[in-house]
């Protein structure tokens, strides 16, 4: 997920993908938060404040767009963890995100309930 709006874009990604002077139309077309509709699938967003690669505002803008469109979504913003946190242990509550993802998927019927 990526947004290309000025204040929240990752400058390197914006330049690499859109060039030095992209048109407003191209920025809108390729900014995911501008493409959300009522038919966008439910989404789970995980982001950290320590992510120095992609600004946390990307997830916030996407979540806001999902909410405005009435799309089911959950967002978890954690303090600790680099970009691409993966399943690293030792990051405090950030390391709990796989469990949260499992719960989200179960609540949507994408995973079977746990066996008793």
Sorted by where each begins, the domain ranges of the chain are: 11-107
pLDDT in tens, 57-107: 889 999 999 999 999 999 999 999 988 888 888 888 999 999 999 999 999
With beta carbons less than 8 A apart as the criterion, state whether 14 and 43 touch.
Answer: no
pLDDT in tens, 34-46: 899 999 999 999 9
CATH class of the domain whose range is 11-107:
alpha beta
DSSP three-state, residue 45: strand
pLDDT of residue 9: 67
d(CA 111, CA 115) in angstroms, rounded, equals: 11
pLDDT band at 8 (very low <50, low <70, confident <90, very high): low
DSSP three-state, residue 104: helix
Is this model's pTM higher than 0.85 or not?
A: no
Question: Looking at the predicted structure, is the pLDDT value of residue 5 above 70?
Answer: no
């Amino acid at each position: 997920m990526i947004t290309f709006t000025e204040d929240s874009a990752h400058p390197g990604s914006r330049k690499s993908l859109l060039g030095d002077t992209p048109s407003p139309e191209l920025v809108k077309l390729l900014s995911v938060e501008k493409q959300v509709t009522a038919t966008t699938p439910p989404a789970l967003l995980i982001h950290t404040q320590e992510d120095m690669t992609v600004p946390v505002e990307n997830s916030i803008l996407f979540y806001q767009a999902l909410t405005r469109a009435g799309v089911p979504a959950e967002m978890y913003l954690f303090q600790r963890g680099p970009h691409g946190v993966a399943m690293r242990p030792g990051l405090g509550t950030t390391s709990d995100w796989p469990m949260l993802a499992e719960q989200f998927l179960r609540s949507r019927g994408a995973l079977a309930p746990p066996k008793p």
